Amino acid sequence: MRLSVLDQSPIPEGSTGADALAHTLDLARLCERLGYHRYWLAEHHGGPTLAGPSPEALIGPVAAATSTMRIGSGGVMLPHYSPFKVAETFSLLSGLFPDRIDLGIGRAAGTDPMTTFALQRDRRTAAPDDFPEQLAELLAHYDGAFPADHPFARLGRTLPGAPHQPEVWLLGSSAQSAIWAAQLGLPYAFADFINPDGAGIAESYRERFSASPRLAHPKVAVAVWAISADTDEEAERIAASGRMTFTLLRQGRLIPVPPPEKALRFLATQENVPRRGVIGSPATVRAGIEEIASRYLAEEVIVVNISYDHGARRRSYELIADAFDVTPREAATAHAG
């Protein structure tokens, strides 16, 4: 089983978005040394919690700061964009970093309705709900799948990074995303940290899967919120920051990630704080991750971590890699050579 990372670039209370972006570069370097397989960057807009509105802008610096780990979007929220523009951007990145770029595609807005409206170029009416058509158009640019007489047919032949292409994934947390991924023969990444009832959805994806030139067999990754520390108690303390952040998010209140002590005081006043996570010592976290991966029959687990302290976040990824005996990237390269 592979371990990977989804970095949402959290902004701790008292720091800045620029600090969070510097932490992203630092964490990416660390995770490559630890042997994580891929490093995905999220897309969220218009809030003080996360500093990642533009994964396509951040992928280049992260890929340049690393050398072997796959780097990608987790994901690009396609409804905000022109499929051709996305195809060009990720072609360019693939040309700069061959065989290392992933294009994870999502459908969610990644923000509140007003910010979604602000992102629209044409504000005379609501944007159409045409995600399947957008996705098919995006893939057609890479595959040369437009009919010969289609006005867009020539555009795929001008992509700047050719012949290199990104590995395209579909991201989701619902049954519909699994249907589209299966129909198009795409690898599928399910957000268990959003919807913990996705094992049946992953099974449906496998049952419906149609082979494509990209992928002969179904391929599932599951994204899990996981925090490890030396003890279960310390991990729960660290995790309080994320629990408070997401509790308030569900109430429409956006805040920077609070320190654990502040979060613990807040959580003591709350009832029923539902937040799916694997929290604890390395042994606890390994067991929890393995249990989730087993239910999804996932070949890969993508670890998400929202913490106040960057040092604690680094330490968590170190402990998880060690718990799974992940081979450090340099050692694996040297052995292969």
CA 273 to chain centre: 23
The pLDDT tens digits of the residues spanning 27-67 come to 999 999 999 999 999 999 999 999 999 999 999 999 999 99
Q: Which residue has the tokens 């970095």?
A: 7
223 and 302 in contact (C-beta within 8 Å)? yes
Q: Flag whether 266 is in a domain.
A: no
130 and 200 in contact (C-beta within 8 Å)? no
Q: Which residue has the tokens 């045409």?
A: 130
pLDDT higher than 60, residue 335: no
For residue 15, what are the domain limits?
A: 2-232+276-336
pLDDT higher than 90, residue 336: no
The pLDDT tens digits of the residues spanning 175-229 come to 999 999 999 999 999 999 999 999 999 999 999 999 999 999 999 999 999 999 9
CATH of the domain at 104: 3.20.20.30
Nearest residue to 21 via CA among 247, 273, 259, 310 = 310
Q: Flag whether 257 is in a domain.
A: no
Q: Flag whether 284 is in a domain.
A: yes
Q: Flag whether 92 is in a domain.
A: yes
The beta-strand segments (E) located in the chain are 2-7, 38-41, 70-77, 101-106, 167-172, 188-191, 220-228, 278-280, 300-304
pLDDT higher than 80, residue 151: yes
Q: Flag whether 317 is in a domain.
A: yes
- Average pLDDT of the segment spanning 137-161: 94
Across the chain, mean pLDDT equals 93
Predicted local distance difference test score (pLDDT) of residue 108: 83
Please give the Cα distance from 180 to 136 (Å, whole number). 10
Provide DSSP, 141-180.
Answer: HHHT-S-TTSTTTTGGGG-TTTT--PEEEEEESSHHHHHH
**Which pLDDT band holds residue 13 (cuts at 50, 70, 90)?**
very high
Q: How many domains does the chain have?
A: 1
Q: Flag whether 155 is in a domain.
A: yes
Q: Flag whether 298 is in a domain.
A: yes
pLDDT higher than 50, residue 331: no
Nearest residue to 224 via CA among 326, 327, 320 = 320
Nearest residue to 104 via CA among 46, 156, 157, 177 = 177
The pLDDT tens digits of the residues spanning 227-280 come to 999 999 999 999 999 999 999 988 889 999 999 999 999 999 988 776 679 999
Q: Flag whether 113 is in a domain.
A: yes
Predicted local distance difference test score (pLDDT) of residue 274: 63
Please give the Cα distance from 74 to 202 (Å, whole number). 18
**Which pLDDT band holds residue 119 (cuts at 50, 70, 90)?**
confident
